[in-house]
Amino acid sequence: MNLRDESLAKITKDLMFTEPFYGLLLVAMNKTWTTQLETAGVTVTGINFSLAINPDYWDSLNDAQKKGLLKHELMHIAFFHLTDFSHLADRMIANWAMDIEINQYIDPTWLPKGGLLPSTFPHLNLKEKEGTLYYYEKLKELQDEVIQTIKDAIANGELDVTLPDDTNVKLTEHDWSDIENLDEGTQKVIREQSSAIIQDVAEQVEKSRGTLPGEIKQIIEALKNIPPPKFDWRGYMRRFVGKSVKIYTKKSRRKLSKRYEDNPGLKIKQRKHILVAIDTSGSVSKSELVEFLQEIHHIHKTGNDVTIIQCDTAISHVGKYKPGEDYKIHGRGGTSFQPVIDYYNERINKISCLIYFTDGEAPAPIDARGNILWVLSSSSEINESLPGFQIKLDL
């Protein structure tokens, strides 16, 4: 083992004592040295992630910064940054947003000078620990002069950048084209593999009576549990939905056939067809989308057919709800409710009702007919102009 490998082994051991979850996750990963990267990065090997580190950059850091570098890269995996944010159009700004999110969970003394944080851009008034999507939307408000300065620096291979207001920022190097170029099925397998590894590592930490970081506890809970519904969906379906139903029969041994002796009877059931719209505009945060998907799970459990329609300013995806499936969010632009209303109106005789999950931040649609329920996230305000019934999910 050479001196550099000994250094990495020592820092890994230190990380296991101070941050056992990330230390064990690091042990489970394949690690390589490369000069193809300026700093460090996560790459895909099969369906697993590998950590690549530039040896010269590693040597330039003190021990605390080395731990910070390793934790930073591991958090990109733990926060599913490599699989859940490929829909964000501006990859550069997306990378900044991801770094701002995870750097808040790293000891400040472990970060190199200029590491991106909410305080890096004071004029944007960034809130703390709000998630990648929030920071992505806010960073798009940066002045063109600032964005161009950073883009020019990156084009010149510079990671230490001085902004027009003399703020110094240190950019991390991310090139995740290897995973972005994979088909959706392969990305899903990689995400499931990552989920399994993260949960396994968390179990090891807990069995050894270690402490899981708060941010990892939230991720584990989201992976394992679906909280109870925030609204009485079963009661709503009974009281308010329309008459459009799907008839199906089920053989019943409890009820014998009157026509054919010794044969099971037929039990007739009705299933309502629910159209559920998700507002996927940029103003809807990651936590709101999670909240929406959790409620949709409970809508499906009422025994109805559910079609999911995603829309920002235009409909981006329509498909049958499949429980347990990881949903890829499309859109993330502006907001317009009209496309979904038009879609519903055209099929109003075949659909029992429309349930629209949104933050409510858009003008009311016109010619809204049928049974419509607007479901506002727990962090939203009621929009009195929207036609139909409205509820706000409880915190």
Same domain, 22 and 145: yes
Give the strand pairing for 40-45 and 160-162: unpaired
93-102, 244-253, 321-330, 354-363: which is most confident:
354-363
Is the pTM above the cut of 0.75? Answer: no
Same domain, 150 and 251: no
Same domain, 217 and 272: no
Same domain, 172 and 289: no
Same domain, 304 and 355: yes
Alpha-carbon dihedral sign for residues 178, 289, 356, 230: positive
Same domain, 217 and 279: no
Same domain, 23 and 124: yes
The last residue of a domain, from among 224, 257, 284 = 224
CATH number of the domain that 274 lies in? Answer: 3.40.50
Residue 301 backbone phi and psi in degrees, to 5? -70, -10
What pLDDT score was predicted for residue 268? 43
Same domain, 216 and 238: no
306 closest CA partner among 331, 325, 291, 332: 325
Q: Which helix H or strand E contains 236, and what residues bound it?
A: helix 233-240
3-state helix, strand, coil in the chain (%, to 5): 40, 20, 40
Residue 311 backbone phi and psi in degrees, to 5? -155, 135
Same domain, 326 and 249: yes
Question: For residues 310 and 317, what is the distance between their CA atoms, to the nearest angstrom?
Answer: 5
Instruction: List pLDDT tens digits, range 43-83.
Output: 877 778 889 999 999 999 999 999 999 999 999 988 888 87
Instruction: List pLDDT tens digits, range 336-356.
Output: 999 999 999 999 999 989 999
Same domain, 240 and 209: no
Same domain, 336 and 219: no
Give the C-alpha distances (Å, rounded to integers) separating 337 from 169, 369, 371: 39, 13, 15
Range of the domain at 361: 233-392
pLDDT mean over 241-250 = 48
Instruction: List pLDDT tens digits, range 179-219.
Output: 667 776 677 777 777 888 888 888 888 777 667 777 777 77
What pLDDT score was predicted for residue 241? 64
Overall domain count for the chain? 2
pLDDT mean over 234-256 = 57
Average pLDDT, the chain: 82
Question: For residues 18 and 21, what is the distance between their CA atoms, to the nearest angstrom?
Answer: 9
Same domain, 111 and 19: yes
- For residues 168 and 162, is the Cβ–Cβ distance under 8 A? yes
Q: 247 - beta bridge partners?
A: 270
Residue type, position 4, single letter: R
Cα-based torsion angle of the residue sequence 284, 288, 289, 294 in order, rounded to the nearest 10 degrees: -160
Kindly calculate the radius of gyration of the chain based on its CA atoms and give it in whole angstroms: 25
DSSP letters of 103-146? HTTS-GGGSPTTB--GGGSGGG-PPSS--HHHHHHHHTTS-HHH
The last residue of a domain, from among 224, 254, 288 = 224
